[in-house]
Structure 1
Amino acid sequence: MVEAGGDRNLMGVLAAGAGAALTGAGLTWVLIRVLHHFGVVDAPVARSLHHQPVARGGGLAVLVALAIGVLVGATLGSDYHAMGASWLLASTVLYGALGFNDDLTSLSARFRFAIQVVLGFLVALVGTILTGWSPVWALFAAGALLVAVNVTNFMDGANGLVSTHTVVSGLWLAVLALTADSPTTALFSASLAGAALGFLPFNAVAPKIFLGDVGSYSIGAALTAAALVLAGNGVPIAALLAPFLVYLLDTAYTLQLRIRAGERWYEPHKLHIYQRLITAGWSHLRVAGTVSFVAASMCLLTLPMLLDAPVPLQVVTAVLILAVAAAYLRLPVWASAPVPWRKAAT
């Protein structure tokens, strides 16, 4: 999946992002009405941060807009690898299909997990055939998809959070792909960012629609698949992990605190850092902006590693990344969020 680049690739990528954004906005507007008509809505429960039924399944619009964005970019002349683009899109659609099934029928946790494992190995196997990944790397790819899909789903609990983060992450991966001469991945990543941007206005303020599992699953899979391709093209792992770190930090920190506090870690809850900030009085938009700002900061702090800067500068930026991570984890305390643990853990 390594391709040659050029000026037309940049134009194709920009057109793909714009086309996906416009398509995403139009499709979301239509989908809101369709989902309400068929009763596909998210009714508030005890762990919800919303209070009125909202259409669920907006990720369908993101998926279709993503595919159209890739098609627009390819049509306008951007270089692309047909099999590579097909693998990226198929991987995203497979996870999206599982998520939409869960949106409609509420699959059991065990069955859903089993299918996620199977999909991870299937996607990794096809990726191995196309790229020549080693068996060890294929296992890593399957595990990365499993983790990313679930972590993205866990973080999809505040209006605009995953959508805004996807815009930042997609743009970052698109830039990395262009610098790595991987226009297929750049086209795909920019289209994903555009599709999320088109969806965002309907979800960020006074939300009319949620991504649903179809959205969080497909976005988690899309970002991970793109990052895996770029890792195979030699992009430093640190730069690829940067936009995901805030998700991983929030999930891992919350999980270990719940275990230490005697909570049943596998049960639904609203105890993530971002959820506790909302409980403390932060608006959904402020929380979404904070998470995306942390992700963008971590991305930019990896630039010295990407540019092979002097080692002392790389060490300084690594320390700054740790400082940003520590500050994010400390936010609930600074915001005077109530401590919900049965045992004092913070």
Structure 2
Amino acid sequence: MTLVLLFGLAISFLITLVFAPFFIPILRKMHFGQYIREEGPKSHMKKAGTPTMGGVIFLIGLMGGLLVMALKYHMATQETYMLLFVTVGFGLIGFVDDFIKIVMKRNMGLTSKQKMLAQIIIAVVFWLIVARLDYSTYLSFPGTTWMINLHWLYPFFAVFLLIGVPNATNLTDGMDGLLSGLAAVAFAAYSIIAYFSMNLGVAVFSAAMLGALLGFLIFNAHPAKVFMGDTGSLAIGGAIAGIAILTKTEILLAIIGGVFAIETLSVIIQVVSFKTTGKRVFRMSPIHHHFELSGWSEWKVVTVFWFVGFVLAIIGIYLKVGLGG
């Protein structure tokens, strides 16, 4: 089984690695270049015009890897297809948002109401599928035997998670390779957790996503040749939230995805502080920009955040696998 998962990882990696050099010039030729916000760090202005919507690249790698796994090893389960649905669904929302920003020259893309409605639809459909499979409404506390049954509140919690995580990963995507590296770590952790939980469909999906992201990272790491755009960041968040629900690790996600939570919390703190006191807690939010404006190089910020994400992932794996949580 381990060799099969590694094979799926390798296939997704190779498909992404081969597809990227063909697709990036197409994005450049079509002038699908990144728009840089004027209020962002001035050092980022030189990135203007870098091809975006690169999330398509690793999504192709993911689907290619899963297709090979399904045809060759018959390893795709209903959970695999459910995760593919939520990933591609959120990816399509991001794709439309990116398309409007770049092609239609509307800097804000979809309106907040349009984006929220689309996310709610995908989240509710995913939950309805989960409900038909009679998944537990219990939440487990990592490393303990404590559990709490949300009963009728669980569907609302699940939908909140499915909307909140993609927006957290979207906020994290602000530096070359930051999100792709952190997401790769998270999917590696979940592939291990799913494997030891005998949830093979989730393990196959996580391994394929890991391979695709590692392939993409080669082109996305500093200095980035391509950005993933909302196409990629929302797809990643949808996939991670879906995995947390299917593996019943909703609370553990706060640890494995701890950096995403910190990034989101920094934005909330900044907004609340400024609106209530007129003062900013951070030089700029999300918090990765705070460190950048404090004098850290972009590469230093990214590698430190990767390291923190790696440590949190190890802790998450230990709490779930090592302690049998």
TM over 0.5: yes
Cα drift, residue 150 of structure 1 = 0.6
The TM-score normalised by the length of structure 2 is 0.84
Rounded Cα–Cα distance in structure 2 between residues aligned with 1:156 and 1:302:
22
Q: In the alignment, which residue of structure 1 is the partner of 2:128?
A: 125
Q: In the alignment, which residue of structure 2 is the partner of 1:64?
A: 60
8 A Cα contact 2:270 2:285, kept in partner? no
Structure 1, unaligned runs of 5 or more:
1-8, 315-346
The TM-score normalised by the length of structure 1 is 0.79
Residues 282 and 84 (structure 1), Cα distance of their counterparts in 2 relative to 1, 3 Å cut:
same
Cα drift, residue 149 of structure 1 = 0.7
8 A Cα contact 1:20 1:195, kept in partner? yes
Structure 2, unaligned runs of 5 or more:
101-108, 138-151
Cα drift, residue 211 of structure 1 = 0.4
Q: Secondary structure at the match of 1:174?
A: helix
8 A Cα contact 2:193 2:321, kept in partner? no
Question: Counterpart amino acid of 2:273?
Answer: R
CA displacement 1:221-277 (0-9 Å, x = unmatched): 01111121111xxxx55544322111112211331233112289xxxx952211111
Rounded Cα–Cα distance in structure 2 between residues aligned with 1:13 and 1:156:
27
Rounded Cα–Cα distance in structure 2 between residues aligned with 1:230 and 1:167:
18
Q: Secondary structure at the match of 2:127?
A: helix
Q: 1:244-323 maps to which residues of 2 (within 5 A)?
A: 244-262=257-275, 270-306=284-320
> Which among 90, 94, 101 is matched to residue 99 of structure 1?
94
Rounded Cα–Cα distance in structure 1 between residues aligned with 2:160 and 2:73:
35
Rounded Cα–Cα distance in structure 2 between residues aligned with 1:36 and 1:136:
46
Q: In the alignment, which residue of structure 1 is the partner of 2:189?
A: 172
8 A Cα contact 1:174 1:185, kept in partner? yes
8 A Cα contact 2:181 2:217, kept in partner? yes
Rounded Cα–Cα distance in structure 2 between residues aligned with 1:153 and 1:116:
13
Rounded Cα–Cα distance in structure 2 between residues aligned with 1:16 and 1:223:
18
Rounded Cα–Cα distance in structure 2 between residues aligned with 1:190 and 1:109:
33
> Which among 226, 229, 233 is matched to residue 212 of structure 1?
229
CA displacement 1:194-228 (0-9 Å, x = unmatched): 11111112111221210001000101001111121
Cα drift, residue 63 of structure 1 = 0.9
Cα drift, residue 121 of structure 1 = 1.2
Rounded Cα–Cα distance in structure 1 between residues aligned with 2:233 and 2:125:
19
Q: 1:97-246 maps to which residues of 2 (within 5 A)?
A: 97-105=92-100, 106-132=109-135, 134=137, 135-231=152-248, 237-246=250-259
Cα drift, residue 43 of structure 1 = 2.7
Q: In the alignment, which residue of structure 1 is the partner of 2:104?
A: none
Structure 1 residues 154-163 or 111-120, which shifts more?
111-120
Structure 1 residues 128-137 or 27-36, which shifts more?
128-137
Identical columns (%): 24
Rounded Cα–Cα distance in structure 2 between residues aligned with 1:184 and 1:308:
21
Task: Tell me how large the CA RMSD over aligned residues is.
Answer: 2.4
Rounded Cα–Cα distance in structure 2 between residues aligned with 1:91 and 1:211:
17
